[in-house]
Amino acid sequence: MKKQISDFRVAENQLLNRQYFLLKIRRDEPLPPIFAGQFAQVRVDNSAETFLRRPISVNFVDYGQNEIWFLIKIAGKGTEKLSFLKKNDLINIIFPLGNGFSLQTNKNANLLLAGGGVGVAPLLYLGYTLKKQGFRNVNFLFGARTEHDLLLIEEFEQYGTLHFTTEDGSRGECGVVTQHSILKNEKFDFIYCCGPAPMMSAVAQYAETQNIDCEVSLENRMACGIGACLCCVTQNAEGKNVCVCTEGAVFNSKKLIWQI
């Protein structure tokens, strides 16, 4: 897929809470095909401390508005700078990058989309895509520390059934994602997962014990996003080093070595 380097204008920058914000960017030119699970390398302008672009998962795509959404966690100087962008500010991105999630052929398959923290970001566009393609049984399972850390709930409700775990029990079941009762009470045909590495490892282990195919979206640090710098390299189950930015970020969980 051909990559583009393009300027966009900020359409909206919404602070969701102290840690997260939703950045919507738009351009006049029609967008190329973008698949759920792909990402962009975002340039951080006017920041002497931030030289490298930041890899950000695509949260949603609105082709009618030529608009891309990014759900971003403020984790350092670069993302903090992006949180200050105002409407009509210019922003430059390289996109679409990486490989997205695969789609199943059985529209009646029972699907689980599991996420935690900012890892829920690519699952919104995936849920939209699955519903548009006619999949009938889409379940979201999200884990967070408290109910205040659960993001974009109204948006996710449009595309599937939501289930929650919170560490303090403030919403949903108390505990972590892999402790939710739905994993005992329902049989899933396929799992999609993105979030903190320990969570993905636990979900991958659950999928293997239940003989369920599972895809995970890794969140390794990236500098270039095109396979040149090699800083995002991870080891697969064959003992080979693979670039997450070009051969992922989505992988079959069985093809990775989980070192948590």
Check: CB of residue 222 under 8 Å from CB of residue 146: no
Sequence ranges of the domains in the chain:
4-97, 110-255
DSSP per position, 169-218: SSSSEES-GGG-THHHH---SEEEEES-HHHHHHHHHHHHHTT-EEEEE-
Give exposure, 94-104, as e/b (b: 16+ Cβ within 10 Å). Answer: bbbbbbbbebe
> How confident is the model at residue 146, as a pLDDT?
94
Domains 4-97 and 110-255 share a fold: no
- For the record, the structure tokens of 195 come out as 């979030």
pTM of the model: 0.95
**Residue 230 pLDDT:** 82
Enumerate the β-bridge partners of residue 115.
Answer: 142, 194
Average pLDDT per consecutive 10 residues, the chain (260 residues; last block may be shorter): 92 95 98 97 87 94 98 94 97 96 94 96 98 96 94 97 96 95 96 95 95 93 83 84 88 82
Q: What is the pLDDT of residue 235?
A: 82
pLDDT of the residue at 1: 66
State the architecture of 4-97 in CATH terms: Beta Barrel (2.40)
pLDDT of the residue at 50: 79
> pLDDT value at position 224?
85
Second-level CATH architecture of 110-255: 3-Layer(aba) Sandwich (3.40)
pLDDT of amino acid 259: 57
Tell me how far apart the alpha carbons of residues 177 and 43 are, in angstroms, rounded to a whole number: 33
Predicted pLDDT of residue 219: 83
